[in-house]
Amino acid sequence: MIKVESISKSFGSLKVLDNINLNISPGEVVVVIGPSGSGKSTLLRCINYLEKIDDGKIYIDGKLVGKKEINGRLVEAPAKEVYKMRENIGMVFQRFNLFPHMTVLQNITEAPVLVKKVSKQEAFKQALQLLEKVGLDEKANAYPAHLSGGQQQRVAIARALAMEPKIMLFDEPTSALDPELVGEVLAVMKDLAKEGMTMVVVTHEMSFAKEVADRVIFMDEGKIVEEGPPSQIFTNPSHPRTREFLVKIL
Amino acid sequence: MQIIELGKVSNSGVMKVATGFVWDWAFVLKMLPLLLKGAVMTVTLTACAITFGTGIGLIIAFMKIIKNPVLNFIGGIYTWVFRGIPLLVQLFIIYYALPMVLGITLDAFPAAVIGISLCGGAYIAEIIRAGVQSVDKGQMEASMSLGMGYFQAMRRVIVPQTYRRLIPPMGNEFITLLKDTALVSTITMTELTRTAQIYSASHFKPFEMFLTAGVIYLILTTFFTVVFGKLETKLAQSE
Ligand SMILES: Nc1ncnc2c1ncn2[C@@H]1O[C@H](COP(=O)(O)OP(=O)(O)OP(=O)(O)O)[C@@H](O)[C@H]1O
Ligand SMILES: [Mg+2]
């Protein structure tokens, strides 16, 4: 479903992603862990092309992301195609990034109506279903500022789901939350995983990783140092750097 | 004729207050219609400058924000030039120098409007650019991640968030534009300041004329302050 082929990315002289290879199958839940600055966010952002890559290729459903092959040469794809591709990939951010000038309902219906040209009526119906799913149906007309962090993040998840994506990317979705609010967000993510959503999750919530992840990836200095099922990574990591990191966060 | 010796320091070092100066109400009342006529011109100039200046500001801000090096450059040059040269000099160039170079003679009114609008546009562009760029980057990213295009995101997500932050600096800028219209008195535009100037000279009553003009300016600027203050609280409530 997602195929990352030896991609590299630098900011100036800083190599943030260094020859990353990754294959994610439909329905798989992949948790990415690693120290700050190891390139986890950048990897997610490259997958939906919020960040351009310097080298390598990314395929979603066999289709090249952000590039086009013309006479065997890779060129940047037109912006329209990139926008279209992003409809299939939902993203949830650490800081929620809800639209503060819109109600919860408007936050969720905005993109389907604007981008997919779904009728307003239909979008509202779907939004209410999604709100029910994330347990916030009574907050439909509230503004984000009046919600707790946990509620905001659940709205953000509903907003992403409203585009009916095939893949969901989560970038530290619970790390801006007070500890008592983490559970409600993780619960929604677990439900999503059970429904078979393909997910890439950057998180340091080990309980979540152990329970839901099919695979854990440990990144350091722009490289995938080690990957495997959570049981193996957490109890018996083969790489000393993984061990060092786990000691610090567990 | 009364002699005005306001603020003159006597040899004992004590301030002497206006020797024999008497405020002439009758003269003020007689001149008020003329001053008000000048004020109407000041308001007209301000209205034109706000309209065109905002239009120019929007265009230049757009050129500076969009990801296009050529447009960025042009927008940058524009604000560099029109913010970097005193408005007074710009007015002289437009009114006195351009006719000599290009052979186009402009009437004082269009020259005044063009001068103030071009200069005000540069400031307004900076205000709008700063407003748009003060919106959290996460908003554009969230919009993009939902499949929105750049312009869709700008129109629906980014720009609406700037309205409230733009109100105080725009209010300031409109007040500045209003006060800057006084400068066009130098290119023979008979607005409030020039009216005061003309009649204070012909009747030797500078104090009455300029103080009255000052009060009229104060009323006009207060109007902006009040309106923008109201707008701000109104938008603050709706958020
Ligand atoms: N737009 C950018 N310009 C310059 N440097 C950047 C940019 N974005 C990220 N970086 C740098 O790239 C490196 C990797 O960043 P990234 O955000 O991917 O790390 P991360 O693993 O997500 O870290 P964290 O756990 O702190 O979120 C960091 O050193 C960061 O400072
Ligand atoms: Mg990060």
What gap in Å lies between CA B195 and CA B202, rounded to an integer?
11
pLDDT of A122: 97
- Residue B53 lies inside a defined structural domain of this protein: yes
Between A167 and B204, the higher pLDDT residue: A167
* Residue B185 in this model has a pLDDT that exceeds 80: yes
Q: Is residue B148 part of a domain?
A: yes
DSSP chain A: -EEEEEEEEEETTEEEEEEEEEEE-TT-EEEEE--TTSSHHHHHHHHTTSS--SEEEEEETTEESSEEEETTEEEEPPHHHHHHHHTTEEEE-TT----TTS-HHHHHHHHHHHHS---HHHHHHHHHHHHHHTT-GGGTT--GGGS-HHHHHHHHHHHHHTT--SEEEEESTTTTS-HHHHHHHHHHHHHHHHTT-EEEEE---HHHHHHH-SEEEEEETTEEEEEE-HHHHHHS-SSHHHHHHHHHH-
Asked if A93 and B141 come within 8 Å (Cβ–Cβ), the reply is: yes
What pLDDT, on the 0 to 100 scale, is given for residue B99?
87
User: Is pLDDT at B12 greater than 70 in this prediction?
Assistant: no
CATH classification at residue B202:
1.10.3720.10
Confidence of residue B2 (pLDDT cuts 50, 70, 90): very low
Report DSSP state, residue B205: -
Which of A230, A96, A91, A97 shows the shortest CA–CA distance to A170? A91
- The answer to whether position B20 is within a domain reads no
User: Contact at 8 Å (CB) between A167 and A89?
Assistant: yes
Amino acid at B192: L
User: What pLDDT shows up at residue B105?
Assistant: 86
State yes or no: pLDDT of B38 exceeds 90.
Answer: yes
What's the CA gap between A72 and A70, in Å, rounded?
5
* B1 pLDDT above the threshold of 50: no
Averaged over successive runs of 10 residues, the pLDDT of chain A (250 residues) comes to 95 95 96 96 96 94 90 89 95 97 97 97 97 95 96 98 97 95 96 96 93 96 95 92 89
Specify the pLDDT at position B18: 53
Residues lining ligand 2 (ion), CB within 5 A?
A 41
* Contact predicate B183/B6, CB 8 Å: no
Residue B3 lies in a domain: no
Long-range contacts of the stretch A76-83 (C-beta < 8 A, 24+): A76/A52, A79/B149, A79/B150, A80/B149, A82/A49, A83/A115, A83/B144, A83/B147, A83/B148, A83/B149
Does residue B4 surpass a pLDDT of 70? no
Is-contact A53 A46, C-beta < 8 A? yes
pTM over 0.90: no
Among protein residues, the one whose CA lies closest to atom 12 of ligand 1: A16
Number of domains observed in the structure of chain B: 1
Give the one of A93, A98, A115 whose C-beta lies nearest to B147's C-beta.
A115
Residue ranges lining ligand 1, Cβ < 6 Å: A 11, 14, 16, 34, 36-42
Question: Could you tell me if residue B19 is inside a domain?
Answer: no
Rounded to whole angstroms, how far apart are CA atoms B169 and B124? 9
Mean pLDDT in residue range B199-222: 94
Residue B239 has pLDDT above 70, yes or no: no
The residue count for chain B: 239
Task: Please tell me the distance in Å from A183's CA to the nearest CA on chain B.
Answer: 23
Average pLDDT over residues B137-153: 97
**Record: contact A83-B136, CB cut-off 8 A:** no
Q: What is the domain extent for residue B61?
A: 25-180+190-238
Residue B204 included in any domain: yes
Domain assignment present for residue B80? The answer is yes
Contact B145 A114 (CB under 8 A): no
**Atom number in ligand 1 closest to CA A222:** 14
Inform me whether the pLDDT recorded for B15 exceeds 70.
Answer: no
Q: How confident is the model at residue B14 (pLDDT cuts 50, 70, 90)?
A: very low
pLDDT of residue B5: 47
Instruction: Give B230-237's long-range contacts (Cβ < 8 A, gap of 24+).
Output: B231/B167, B231/B171, B232/B164, B232/B167, B232/B168, B232/B171, B235/B163, B235/B164, B235/B167, B236/B164
Q: What's the pLDDT tens digit per position in A107-118?
A: 999 999 999 999
Closest approach of A219 to chain B, Cα-based (Å): 23
Residue B185 forms part of a structural domain: no
- Give whole-number Cα distances, A50 to A47, B54, B141, B147, B155, in Å: 8, 33, 7, 11, 19
